[in-house]
Amino acid sequence: MEFDKALTTLMGKPETTQRPFPDAKLDDNQPLTEAERKQSAGLMRVNHAGEVSAQALYQGQALTAKLPDVRTAMEAAATEENDHLVWCQQRLTSLSSHSSVLNPLWYLGSFTIGALAGKVGDKWSLGFVAETEKQVVKHIDSHLQVISNNDLKSRAILAQMKIDEQQHGTAALEAGGAMLPEPVTKAMGLVSKVMTKTSYWL
């Protein structure tokens, strides 16, 4: 079942909440320059790779979570993350670009980390989610600062993703998530930088 979920995330059509696309009512009235298009494509590729990782993280944690309510929360969050995955993929397609070729690697690594976090204990697993979402929000903020103001569609998608990620992080803490030690958060930040730098180009 987990292998099937991985294939669906990487190559299929994952289950979503069926929410409307954030950019559905926006038109590309101002064509992007080639430089703007490439920049938007690179940034959305990074976000798509991040959503692949998030999906794997939640699936891994749900697999090893000890408390049923924690497992259910992880699975619900994974479905909402699928919305982001589909939104980013569609935007990449409309920008005549592609998702990262390294996505299978990001999925495998994140699934392993998620499963290990869940095995350590639910409070640490939830804490890991909270810290992950905190770092994701920072990345989205940085993207919103540099992406072209003409790219209204990408900006709309990122804005809604930011809202959702903040809610997931808050929910994880309220469910009993523990604050992670500083060395762990720094290590997570370093891994995140590697992923974002490589996914932008690949």
Gap between the Cα atoms of 178 and 175, Å rounded: 10
* DSSP notation for 84-137: HHHHHHHHHHHTT----TTHHHHHHHHHHHHHHHHHH-HHHHHHHHHHHHHHHH
Task: Measure CA 29 to chain center.
Answer: 28
Residue 168 labeled ligand binder? yes
Residue 15 labeled ligand binder? no
Contact present, 78 and 178 (Cβ < 8 Å): no
Residue 81 labeled ligand binder? yes
Gap between the Cα atoms of 182 and 164, Å rounded: 25
Task: Measure CA 85 to chain center.
Answer: 7
Residue 2 labeled ligand binder? no
Residue 165 labeled ligand binder? yes
Binding residues for Fe cation, by number, are 51, 81, 84, 133, 165, 168
Task: Please give the annotated binding residues, written as ranges.
Answer: 51, 81, 84, 133, 165, 168
